Amino acid sequence: MRNIMQPRFLVLYGSQKGQAQSIAEGIAEDAQDNGLVAELKCLNQTDEFNLEKENAPVVFIVSTTGDGEPPDNALKFVKDIKTKTFSTDHYKHLCYALLALGDTNYANFCNCGKTIERPAVLNFSYADDGVGLEVVVDPWLEGLWKAIKGALSKMASNWTTGPPVGNCGIESVKTQTGHAGDPQEGSLTHSLPPLSESSLNVPALPPPYLDVSLEDVDTMKEVRTFESVCKVPICRAVQLTRGDSVKTALLLELDITAHTTLAYEPGDSFDVFCPNRDTEVEEILSKLGLREKRNHSVHVSLKKDTKKRGAQVPSYIPQNISLLTLLTWCLEIRSVPKKAFLRALVEHTGDSVQRRRLQELCSKQGTADYNLYVRDPSLSTLELLTAFPSCLPPLSLLIEHLPKLQPRPYSASSSRLKHPGKLLFVFNVVDFPECTGRWAGKRGLCTGWLFDLINRGLDFPGRVERSGSLTLPMVHVSLRSNGSFRPPSDLTVPFIMVGPGTGVAPFIGFLQQRYGKQENPDVVFGETWLFFGCRHKDRDYLFREDLEGFVSSGVLNHLKVCFSRDDQEQEKEEEKKVTTSVARPRYVQHNLLLNSQYISDILLKQKGYIYVCGDAKNMAKDVNEALIEMIKTQMQVDQLEAMKTLAGLREEKRYLQDIWA
Ligand code: FAD
């Protein structure tokens, strides 16, 4: 029952992976300490709030997924505000704060937050996962209470008691001194002064909210449902890179003949559902002391007296599930523990030195160490638990804090015209190097799993040795349609594709599709350009034969390829002989700039399209900057004008990205 004397405010979140939701929940929990009452709602619960009539402050926490898409549970809300024609002062009465989560590696950074953003804002921020959400989120949260209270006192006519000055949900922890040994170097488990000697502000303890029990059942009918997911065989696997290449790229072919729901178009991607590694699941079971109970049935319910606002049993935990299945298929046991989780783990850590270090890592003062030892190396929860052996959390805590095990998306690299009944995709096997807390390197979860699945039947370049007798490995997949990342429907329109490394994948599908339509003698096909890049011509030039084949058949008019490492080596050789004044293009953006005149003609005069696919970390940003430079020079305009022109292309959906971190 809410205290009617306490002023209320509304917290609305839209969250894909749970980050925005957990920040929103944290705010709702801290409200009480600030003398306020928070109503927590998900943005899709549109019948439970009414912004038209809302007169209390509203706090929005929204994330952005993919190329600027709203999270699934905010789709309807965002669609409504985009499509309904509101007057400019429609939400003028609304007093709200906004926190938009995103990643500047994506060009449409925080797009969902920007869509919601209007005037009349209390306090708003864009938090960047590219550099660490905490950098923005922590100060934003600190400013939030002041802003809400300020707004409420302006609306003071409808409340009688002033809000008490709260402690912002931060609890003080006194320094403990004298931990064993005095290591010279900092590490995950050891800190150095000044952190080791300072007082700490650690987050408030997240209230427990789940009761978990295990039941020994004789026979359990386990129902593990995958929504609209198909189980398909991997019928071919090829290693596209040479053995001495830095990265290992693999091409897999799936047989989708039996599944009409997987009818994909070039440009679409699809989800692969992978399990956690069985060795890691076993380690977690040991850590929890539950190895003998792995086949017990898990019952999860809400704690009756929980203080957590808006607490719910996570929707991704089905009934009638064994502990083993829960840890294998439902929870991301490799997720990087958030500070709130570290805070909760402190309570289950026996050793005082380890407790102190966990407190440091989740504290405000320990942010640099948290980033260095936990966030940047993507330290998994299991690795953390192993490094802190006296930390023995209960199963319920893991279920409360570990996010849903997400499927991994991959871009289709085929066209059904060329490969009827087949779906091809290509990926790099992700490698995590060892670090403090990780004794040996490891592979990415999904790419490592796929690699192990197909390893026995793999075709290596120049060595075909698949045995027909092997049973085909099966994977669960579902289609993720991407309505806009498609080749132009008008075949006469020219387009440019930029896809270094595995980013070339969807363009193989584009070109196969175009090849299939080439017989039409009445069409004058628009020009096609492809910019590809890799390290070495003879080690990781993916799809080389296919691309050269497209050029010979006239499907691809211009193939521009650069090799970032070969060129360097060649340049060094040349430097020794004569100095050459012509800089070689090393990356796709250099090649784009070398062809500025043509590219800008296609985009600015011929209403053509440009598609960019692949690594979001550097490439997409560099290409974006190259395009701005190009527009500046070709149109003789300043930076701002060039940025506007590029934004216009994006708006018209003629500049499209499909990028991933
Ligand atoms: P995970 O175990 O999930 O680990 C990857 C994560 O770890 C990354 O988030 C990264 O931040 C982090 N990380 C990686 N290396 C390190 C390191 N050295 N140190 C610290 N942290 C690190 N990938 C392809 O290869 N081909 C595709 O066609 C493709 N298409 C995609 C399409 C879309 C729409 C999206 C969103 C992604 C796509 N991806 C593609 C990426 C793919 O979904 C996976 O993210 C990727 O294969 C890694 O999965 P994983 O489970 O093996 O790695």
| Order of all β-strands in the sheet with 528-534 | 558-563, 528-534, 495-498, 609-615, 655-660
Q: What is the pLDDT of residue 419?
A: 96
Concatenate the DSSP letters of all residues of 35-65 into one string: T-EEEEEETT-GGG--TTT--S-EEEEEE-B
Q: Would 8-154 and 495-572+583-659 be classified into the same CATH topology?
A: yes
Q: What is the pLDDT of residue 1?
A: 45
**Where do the domains of the chain lie?**
8-154, 210-220+277-401, 230-276+407-480, 495-572+583-659
pLDDT in tens, 93-116: 778 888 888 766 565 666 666 666
Q: 173 with 363: CB under 8 angstroms?
A: yes
Ligand 1, CB within 6 Å, residue ranges: 66, 269, 334, 377-378, 408-411, 425-428, 430, 432-433, 444-448, 502, 505, 658, 660-661
| pLDDT, greater one: 161 or 140 | 140
Mean of pLDDT values over 242-256: 92
Q: Whose CA is nearest to atom 26 of ligand 1?
A: 427
Q: What is the pLDDT of residue 487?
A: 94
If pLDDT is split at 50, 70 and 90, which confidence band does 634 have? very high
If pLDDT is split at 50, 70 and 90, which confidence band does 124 have? low
* % of the chain surpassing 70 pLDDT: 82
The radius of gyration of the chain from alpha carbons, rounded to an integer in Å, stands at 27
**Helix/strand/coil (H/E/C) assignment for every residue in 125-155:** EEEECCCCHHHHHHHHHHHHHHHHHHHHHHC
Mean of pLDDT values over 459-477: 64
| pLDDT, greater one: 239 or 33 | 239
Place of tokens 């047989």: 255
Q: What is the pLDDT of residue 177?
A: 31
Q: What is the pLDDT of residue 167?
A: 29
Tell me which fold the domain 8-154 belongs to.
Answer: Rossmann fold (3.40.50)
The alpha carbon of 566 and the centre of ligand 1 are apart by a number of angstroms equal to 26
The alpha carbon of 363 and the centre of ligand 1 are apart by a number of angstroms equal to 29
Mean of pLDDT values over 157-166: 35
Closest ligand 1 atom, residue 450 Cα: 52
Buried b / exposed e across 405-423, counting CB within 10 Å, b at 16+? Answer: bbbbbbbbbbbbebbeebb
Per-residue DSSP letter, 501? G
* % of the chain surpassing 90 pLDDT: 58
Contact residues for 181 (Cβ-Cβ < 8 A; gap 6+) = 190
Mean of pLDDT values over 259-270: 94
CATH 2.40.10.120 is held by the domain 230-276+407-480:
no
d(CA 551, CA 543): 12
If pLDDT is split at 50, 70 and 90, which confidence band does 523 have? confident
Q: 271 with 411: CB under 8 angstroms?
A: no
Mean of pLDDT values over 336-343: 96
Q: What is the pLDDT of residue 513?
A: 93
pLDDT of 358 higher than 90: yes
Q: 96 with 122: CB under 8 angstroms?
A: yes
Contact residues for 287 (Cβ-Cβ < 8 A; gap 6+) = 382, 385, 386, 392
Strands 8-14 and 58-63: parallel
If pLDDT is split at 50, 70 and 90, which confidence band does 568 have? low
Contact residues for 24 (Cβ-Cβ < 8 A; gap 6+) = 11, 12, 13, 15, 40, 59, 61
Name the CATH architecture for the domain at 495-572+583-659: 3-Layer(aba) Sandwich (3.40)
d(CA 111, CA 116): 9
The alpha carbon of 231 and the centre of ligand 1 are apart by a number of angstroms equal to 22
pLDDT in tens, 200-209: 999 999 999 9
Q: What is the pLDDT of residue 399?
A: 97
CATH superfamily, domain 210-220+277-401, is: NADPH-cytochrome p450 Reductase; Chain A, domain 3 (1.20.990.10)
pLDDT of 462 higher than 70: no
d(CA 368, CA 615): 26
Q: 493 with 607: CB under 8 angstroms?
A: yes
d(CA 634, CA 627): 10
Predicted TM-score of the model (pTM): 0.77
pLDDT in tens, 398-429: 999 999 999 999 999 999 999 999 999 999 99
pLDDT in tens, 300-315: 999 999 998 889 999 9
